């Protein structure tokens, strides 16, 4: 007889990481659009705004990479939107395949 695996719920820290992992790509998109608007504007301070927005984008990218590394460390698997095109649902599961999100 094999015992059924117990369902573990995601910790608060893991839920926060999942939230950030979902939101950060959207934040990068927003920054990119703002950056394009700033570049098109004739604003006197456009160069300074560009530098600031690029710093923000670099920070978001750094945090997103840190979250991905932490997911690997915790053996949390992430499926992205591209799988939806293949008919599978995106989601996040732990090392035993238990769905976290």
pLDDT at residue 89, rounded to an integer:
53
DSSP the chain: --PPPPPPPPPHHHHHHHHHHHHHHHHHHHHHHHHHHHHHS--TTHHHHHHHHHHHHHHHHHHHHHHHHHHHHTT-EEE-GGGGGGT---EEE-TT--B--
pTM given for the model: 0.72
Please give the residue that has the higher pLDDT: either 2 or 8. 8
Residue 75 domain-assigned?
yes
Work out the pLDDT band at 16, boundaries 50, 70, 90: very high
Overall average pLDDT of the 13-36 stretch? 94
- Inside any domain, residue 1: no
Please compute, for residue 37, the number of CA atoms within 13 A of its CA located in the half-sphere on the CB side: 7
Q: Domain of residue 17: give its range.
A: 12-93
Per-residue model confidence (pLDDT) at position 13: 93
Total count of domains within the chain: 1
Q: How far apart are CA 20 and CA 86, in angstroms?
A: 25
pLDDT score recorded for residue 97? 54
Kindly state whether residue 101 falls inside one of the protein's structural domains.
no
**92 — pLDDT class (breaks 50, 70, 90):** low
């Amino acid at each position: 007889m094999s015992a059924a695996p117990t369902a573990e719920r995601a910790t608060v820290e893991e839920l926060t990481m999942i939230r950030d992992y979902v939101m950060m790509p959207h934040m990068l998109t927003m920054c990119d659009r703002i950056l394009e608007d700033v570049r098109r504007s004739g604003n006197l301070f456009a160069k300074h705004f560009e530098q600031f927005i690029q710093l923000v984008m670099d920070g978001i990218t750094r945090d997103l990479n840190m979250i991905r590394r932490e997911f690997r460390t915790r053996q949390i698997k992430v499926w992205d939107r591209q799988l939806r095109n293949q008919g599978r649902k995106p989601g996040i599961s732990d090392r035993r395949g238990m769905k976290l999100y």
